[in-house]
Amino acid sequence: MKSTEHWLVHDHTQIEDLLRHCCEEAEIYDWWALERYFTEFIDQLRYHMAQEEEVLYPAYDARRAPEHMFTDDLYDDHNRIIETIRKIHRLIEIQQKEGLVELFKELVDVMFDHNQKEEHVFLPFASHLLCEDRDELSEKLDNFTLSKKSRAWGV
């Protein structure tokens, strides 16, 4: 049986590594490399968030007891992350230096807080609540593809 918790932590690590590369390129305004890393970062994060929003969070919400953590905060974090990415994307498109590094720092902070919340608060609950469904959820996550119902990011 595949562990959902291990998958989620591993995916965060890959995405965080791509974000680190983006930050490095933004600091020296290497637009070509920044665009390449940022595009890969967005592609991986979009897939990751869609898996959470379309598979993992709904499964958790269906079994969650009233005293357990709500996923509303996690969805709100996703909204803040996407909005910051949109702002960064606009600056990269016009190669505007002003505000770029600061927006990346903001994105790092929001993502760090979000990932900590998922890994240290959400997953302990989700691992317990979804234990019976873990094989089915793992299969859904493994076979997941973006669809028309996946959130549009506008980037």
Residue 1: pLDDT band (50, 70, 90) is very low
- Confirm whether 117 is domain-assigned: yes
The answer as to whether 128 is a domain residue is: yes
Q: Is residue 77 within 8 Å of 113, Cβ to Cβ? A: yes
Has residue 125 been placed in a domain? yes
- Is 26 in contact with 34 (CB distance < 8 Å)? yes
The number of folded domains in the chain is 1
Distances (CA, A) of 28 to 18, 55, 138: 16, 38, 40
Residue 128 CA to residue 68 CA, distance in Å, equals 11
Whether residue 151 lies inside any domain: the answer is no
pTM of the model: 0.89
Q: Which CATH number covers residue 105?
A: 1.20.120.520
What pLDDT digit, counting tens, does each position of 41-56 carry? 999 999 999 999 999 9
